[in-house]
Structure 1
Amino acid sequence: MAAGTDSRGQLLHRTAEFAAEHIGGAFAEFPGGHLGTVEHPAAFADRVREVLLG
């Protein structure tokens, strides 16, 4: 599960974080909000790499 840092405290971010915890899965935050890939492309790509490579 994942959510954008700009949405911390909002319903969908809280839901994703809760669901990941509830099922024992991982939760990752990515730069920005809904358009993080557009607004922060380099930081977003770096974070994707971190998450996928563990």
Structure 2
Amino acid sequence: MHHWDAWTIIRQRRAEAERAADDHRLLRRSREAADVERDRPDGTAGHSPPRSAHHRER
């Protein structure tokens, strides 16, 4: 195998790995968004509803 062949394969594998990492990142982000929507069906913002309710009382 020639030297440039090895570099071509390495470059291709690296590109495929980066693409797979991007796909995984997108999947995880969409899954987290789905979890947030499932936990909060009313669609209110804020991390903890009790704390926001407490602020609203004040």
Calculate the TM-score normalised by the size of structure 2: 0.26
Does 1 or 2 have the higher relative contact order (CA < 8 Å, sep 6+)?
1
Computing the radius of gyration over CA atoms, which structure comes out larger, 1 or 2? 2
The structure with the greater share of residues assigned to strand is 1
TM-score in terms of structure 1 length: 0.28
